[in-house]
Structure 1
Amino acid sequence: MDSKQSSWKGSLLLLLVLNLLLCKNVAASPACAGGAANCRLSLQDLFTRAVALSDNIYKVAEDAFRDFQKTYATGQEFISRAINSCHTSVIPTPADKDQALNTKECVR
């Protein structure tokens, strides 16, 4: 098995594991007692729920990344190689707003 095929399979495995970890123990909790259809929540309650959910997702992703680092990327500079081999790194981007406004349309 060559290294490209091996890294491709490793990336696929990582995506599958992350998907399982992010979906683990995820269940929608009812916003209203008894599941009332016309129940309304305050904006503060909605933001509180959004912050709690965001914090939970962050913690799960952080744990998954830490586990990946321990298992697969130890001593291999995996992250720096992945960043340096980005498929979009050869696409030139404008340095400032003026350059962005002066670019010609290439896509037809």
Structure 2
Amino acid sequence: MPISFNLTNINQESGNSIHIFSGKPGTKPIYTDQATLSEKYRRGVKLLRIMLAVLALTAIVSLILSYISRNYLSSSVAANIPIAIAAVSAVLLVPVLMTYAAFYIKSKRIK
């Protein structure tokens, strides 16, 4: 049985064409001048710094809790939960760190 799609109602608000920028004639698009482009990267660096701090703190606290639970709890399941949380935090930490570094370098070059 072949699958068919009805594409007649897609994107009717913009006249079935690609909508990229809408503004008064002569309006300059955002992120085309130095000031707004620099602001874009500064905001990105700030957000990524917060994400980096939260993930790093989560990984560190989870490792500390893992150490405490291994020494003071008899249940191996309870001892493995903080390790799993630390592993997930560490896996997420790497791409966030790489993105943060790229945004930071780009923001310094734009200034």
* Short-chain TM bin: 0.3 to 0.5
Using structure 2 for the length normalisation, give the TM-score: 0.32
**TM-score, normalised via structure 1 length:** 0.33
Structure with a larger share of its residues in helix: 2
